[in-house]
Amino acid sequence: MGTSTAGLGRIAPPPRRWIVDRRLMGVAIVVEIAAIFLAYMAVYVPVLGPKLTDSEVTRHWTAAVGAATIVAVFGIFVVRAALRARDRGATTTLARETDPAATRPRIPRALRFETVPAKWLRAALAYSLATIPFSIAFGAPLWLAWLAILAPWWVVIALETRHKHARDPIFAIFGAMVILQLLHMVEHSTQLGQLMLTGGKLAKSHGVIGQLDFETVHFFADTTLWLGLALLAVNFKSRNAWLWVAFAAASFHEVEHLYLYWLTVTDHTFYLSGGAAGIMGHYGLIGSPLDRPYLHYAYNFIVIVPMIIAFWDEARRVDRLHALPNP
């Protein structure tokens, strides 16, 4: 009797439920779509250009090793500096990082236009749209049409950035970096569209502003982004994991550009003869199925996606620290 009563009194444990992280699921879907598109381009739209032979491609392998060593040593330095900064700031920041999800606005206030009037935004949008038919009618080159579209937004962004900089300089700088990287992605996306339309002819596919499509510009732009992400990682004291993902991707990208820039300075003929494929590009030093434009699109894509998520999380932090009211 006692045994059966005890058995009847047992309460079955609740069934386990799968908890889906919507953010990770969204990132996985976006990355998969990009991967399928790049796979299609690599198979059906191969880039037409000079190629090195297997014996030629390894001529400057020591430069690639040197580039990887520089980036690795710097990365270790950044990780150590960020961990030390986290240890020093742990006691002062832990208590201020709690924020119930129920009190959060859907879009962080720090990401909204807080100082630019709504009528200015409508006027900037109207101006940008109005430039499109004029550019088409007068046959303006792509770079000029693009600059005309962006012209009013530089004023708007400058005013908003000035306001946010006065409140949180690091957050404002982070925002400027995200905007510049988004514009960089527009350039790479345009190049891929041009490759598709021209059947992979690289000579006719240089993005929106083709005049800037040369190695020196790529090297300094990507190096500046890489160093900027490193400084942000240290400043944020390792609290933003997505920023580390962006920094890791930017580090791999930096190895490529260090090697490529070194080639343009020391052996430009080798660079023009196919060395521009770099390290991981198709027919490059190590090689992969992706031609250089597709490979570098992938690098930048893997940088910008976690950058946007990290920036969103930092906007939440700015809202908490400044106790912005829930609209």
What span, in angstroms and rounded, lies between the C-alpha atoms of 288 and 280? 6
- Of 42-51, 67-76, 89-98, 263-272, the range with the lowest mean pLDDT is 89-98
CA atoms in the 13 A half-sphere facing the CB of 40: 10
Q: What is the mean pLDDT of the chain?
A: 88
Confidence of residue 12 (pLDDT cuts 50, 70, 90): low
Higher pLDDT, residue 28 or 321: 28
Both tokens of 140, joined, read 């303006």
CB 303 within 8 A of CB 181: yes
Q: What predicted TM-score, i.e. pTM, was given to this entire model?
A: 0.86
- Of 15-19, 27-31, 186-190, the range with the lowest mean pLDDT is 15-19
Give residue 89's pLDDT. 65
Beta bridge partners of residue 48, listed in sequence order = 201
Give residue 87's pLDDT. 80
Confidence of residue 99 (pLDDT cuts 50, 70, 90): low
32-61: pLDDT as tens digits? 999 999 999 999 999 998 999 988 999 999
Higher pLDDT, residue 252 or 23: 252
Confidence of residue 254 (pLDDT cuts 50, 70, 90): very high
Q: What is the mean pLDDT of residues 19-39?
A: 89
CB 226 within 8 A of CB 237: no
How is 25-69 classified by DSSP, letter by letter? HHHHHHHHHHHHHHHHHHHHSPPBS----HHHHTTTHHHHHHHHH
Q: What is the mean pLDDT of residues 230-245?
A: 90
Give residue 106's pLDDT. 80
CB 158 within 8 A of CB 172: no
The domain spans of the chain are 26-91+168-321
Give residue 300's pLDDT. 96
Burial state string for 8-43 with b = 16 or more CB within 10 A and e = fewer than 16: eeeeeeeeeeeeeeeeeeebeeeeeeeeeebeebbe
CB 37 within 8 A of CB 262: no
pLDDT at 91 over 60: no
Confidence of residue 20 (pLDDT cuts 50, 70, 90): low
Instruction: Look up tokens 């006719």; give the residue.
Output: 204
How is 165-211 classified by DSSP, letter by letter? HHH-HHHHHHHHHHHHHHHHHHHHHHHHHHHHHHTSBGGG---S-GG
